[in-house]
Chains A and B, each alone.
Chain A
Amino acid sequence: MIEANGLTKRYGKTVAVDDLTFAAEAGKVTGFLGPNGAGKSTTMRMLLGLDNPTSGTATIDGKRYHELRHPLRTVGALLDAKWVHPNRSARAHLTWMAKANGIPKRRVDEVLETVGLTSVAGKRAGGFSLGMSQRLGIAGALLGDPQVLLFDEPVNGLDPEGIFWIRQFMHRLADEGRTVFVSSHLLSEMALTANELIVIGRGKLIAQSSTKEFVARASENAVKVRSPQLTAFRPVLSAAGAGLIDEDGSVIVSGLDCEAIGELAAKHDVVLHELSPQHGSLEAAFMQLAGDAVEYTAVIDSEDAAKAAELVAAR
């Protein structure tokens, strides 16, 4: 269980993380979604005690990171696959980590086997491809057989095969009852991996909900219709399967796009005074909290959201 409570981080004038409160539970993959610069990595560094919060707390199973006795046995993390000395072998890298936390030496070979690096264990890590480095990073995270795992954009720069492998891996870890916390800036990626989503923009919490619910909200499109003949038009829209929400003097129609509504209006001789697509409630939330629609489209462009909806439905 990972918890953040009023977590805030300032770097000089930049507010990287702003009063963030959330929780990630065991047995689930929790996605941490936000555009570039939203504060995902900063949050993870604070969870690991690497950066000191300006205020608020970040705890793992109720403890601050530095209160954990053999932290690698409680929390495994992959923040940056390049955090390895290039001249040190993969095995040596894991050996010192194991030694530091009283982890038996055979575990090093076990995790190397798990991530499929046994054959290059003695090679210098500097010569590894990105995919191999990523695997080494994951081996390091798994070393202490921890119940909590943190991954910062683990699929970045990987080929489809590598991406697939990592996804499967996260599911397996969560199915084993572990807490898996993984960041990304792509909703469609999260739709495949995460059960729960924590969405941030400009360091602020935008939403925490199940992935299904979130994707539904993100891909929902609504149209505002204003007409002097609304009373007559409503039953027509309802009959076409649209959801209707009244607003003063107009109606918000969901489930039908502008084209369909316009054609219905023409067919029934209804005069329209306004027919305008409405942005989803999520965009409104982004606008309100992050103050920036660009942030919203960076995380959820409509194509990506549609793809995410398909993926979630297929799951």
Chain B
Amino acid sequence: MTLLAVERIKLFTTRSPWWCAAVTLAIVIGFAALITGTADFQVSVASTQSGYGFGLAVIMVLAALSITTEYRFGTIRTTFQAVPNRTSALLAKTTVVALLALVIGEAAAFGALGLSAVMDSGANLALSSAADWRQVAGVGVVYALTAVMAVAVGIMIRHSAGAISLLLIYSMLVESLIPLIPAVGEDIHRWMPFNVVEKFLSGDGSARGAAAEGPPLSTSTLSPTLALVYFAGVAALLLTVSLVVAKKRDA
């Protein structure tokens, strides 16, 4: 508990988490406003969450920075001096960052839904099924798990620019290019984490309403619940590896 408090103090006594939180909210809610205001189709629960991917990128930046700046400014050494058990120190940091991402994600997703409901009172934006709930409330959960991955990558890479570009290039580019590999591309893509977690969020697209507008659905064959478990598993694996690395390495 003490360590969580320590990491909370550290996180909120710098500016970047505030900025990242504000930017994520602005992007996700702003996107919803844009879509709802200009859509020539029936606005749905799913369409209000169109800014999710951009918010995700900002969350990755926030989470990666939370640890890479410690390496950059040498405060990681002060941290390990105060808490020689590196695993506990880093786990506490990961937890705090993940919780912040959860809160930001939920606020952004429900903010987007709420603003759209206000803008287009005729649209059916009630959360009437499990799929609807996953589509909105799932955003915070996915952001939290993504934050865990980003912290893990940050621990391993240690450099802000390196960690952030790796994360962004992977999630925005690599996963969507994999299906282009002949023969096996589609099969590999089916198991790539950000594709899989899309299954958790949008399932078979039932939150899209009658218009069924939106980007291609996930090709994962897992159920939404298993998709989330899989995604969480990948995050846990990355974190474990990073903790082992951090423990062995010179600080």
Task: Select which of B9, B78, B248, B251 is within 8 A of A140 by beta carbon.
Answer: B78
Cα distance, A92 to B250, chains bound together (Å): 26
Listed A/B pairs (22) with beta-carbon separation below 8 Å: A49-B80, A49-B84, A51-B250, A65-B84, A79-B77, A80-B74, A83-B77, A84-B75, A84-B78, A85-B14, A85-B73, A85-B75, A88-B10, A92-B9, A92-B13, A97-B82, A99-B5, A99-B6, A100-B3, A100-B82, A101-B82, A140-B78
Question: Contact: B2 with A68, CB < 8 Å?
Answer: no
Give the distance in Å from the alpha carbon of A83 to the alpha carbon of B70 in the complex: 9
Nearest CB of chain B from residue A189's CB, rounded to whole Å: 24
Contacts A50-B81, A85-B69; is A95 near B9 (CB within 8 Å)? yes
A164 within 8 Å of B (CB atoms)? no
Q: Nearest B residue to A67 by beta-carbon distance?
A: B84
The answer to whether A66 and B85 touch across the interface, beta carbons within 8 angstroms, is yes
Contact A100 B84 (CB under 8 A): no
Report A-chain residues with C-beta under 8 Å of the C-beta of B79. 100
Closest partner residue, chain A, to B82 (CB atom): A100
Q: Is B226 located at the chain interface by the 8 A CB criterion?
A: no
Complex: how many Å from CA A89 to CA B250? 27
Interface string of A86-102 (1 = CB under 8 A from B): 11110011011101111
B residues in contact with A51, CB < 8 Å: 250-251
Q: Which of A45-96 contact B (CB under 8 A)?
A: 45, 48-52, 65-66, 68, 71-72, 77, 79-80, 82-89, 92-93, 95-96
Instruction: Please state if B78 and A86 are interface contacts (CB–CB under 8 Å).
Output: no
A262 to B128, CA, bound (A): 108
Residue in B closest to A42 when the chains form the complex, CB atoms:
B250
Fill in one digit per residue for A10-25: 1 if any B CB lies within 8 Å of its CB, else 0: 0000000000000000
| B residues less than 8 Å from A71 (CB atoms) | 81-82, 84
**How many residues on A have C-beta within 8 angstroms of the other chain's C-beta atoms?**
32
Among A50, A72, A84, A92, max chain B CB count under 10 A is at A50
How many angstroms from the CA of A88 to the CA of B85 in the assembled complex? 24
Q: A45 and B2: CB pair below 8 A?
A: no
Is the beta-carbon distance between A50 and B250 smaller than 8 angstroms? yes
Q: How large is the interface on B (under 10, 10 to 19, 20 to 34, 35 or more residues)?
A: 20 to 34
Cα-based distance from A68 to B84 in the complex (angstroms): 8
User: Contact mask B1-41 → A, CB, 8 Å, 1/0?
Assistant: 01101100110011110000000000000000000000000
Considering only residues 50-81 of chain B, those with a C-beta below 8 Å from chain A are 69-70, 73-75, 77-81
CB-nearest residue of chain B relative to A99? B6
How far apart sit A84 and B77, CA to CA, in the bound complex (Å)?
10
Min CB distance B175 to A, Å, is 33
- Which 4 residue pairs are nearest across A and B when measured between Cβ atoms? A83-B74, A92-B13, A66-B84, A100-B82
Residues of A with C-beta under 8 A to B248 = 52
Q: Which residues of B contact A87 (CB under 8 A)?
A: 14-16
Known contacts A51-B251, A79-B77, A86-B73: does B2 contact A100 (CB below 8 Å)?
A: yes
Distance between Cα atoms of A82 and B72 in the complex (Å):
11
With A85-B14, A92-B9 known as contacts, the answer to whether A97 contacts B78 (CB < 8 A) is yes
- If A82-B74, A93-B13 are given as contacts, then 16 extra A-B residue pairs at C-beta distance below 8 Å, sorted by A number, are A45-B251, A48-B77, A48-B81, A50-B77, A66-B85, A71-B82, A79-B77, A80-B74, A83-B78, A85-B69, A87-B16, A88-B10, A88-B13, A88-B14, A89-B13, A102-B2
- Give the residues from 81 to 108 in chain B that come closer than 8 angstroms, CB to CB, to chain A: 81-85
List B contacts of A99 (CB < 8 A): 2, 5-6, 9
- Taken together as a complex, chains A and B put the C-alpha atoms of A86 and B75 apart, in Å, by 10
Is there contact, CB below 8 Å, between B13 and A96? yes
Which B residues are in CB contact (< 8 Å) with A93?
13
Q: Does A100 lie within 8 Å of B14, measured CB to CB?
A: no
Within 8 Å CB of B251, what residues of A? Answer: 45, 50-51
Q: Residues of B contacting A84 with CB < 8 Å? A: 73-75, 78
A100-B6 in contact (CB<8A): yes
* Chain B: CB-nearest residue to A89: B13
Nearest opposing residue in chain A for B81, CB measure: A48
Chain A, residue nearest B83 (CB): A100
What is the CB-to-nearest-CB distance from A50 to chain B, in angstroms, rounded to a whole number?
4
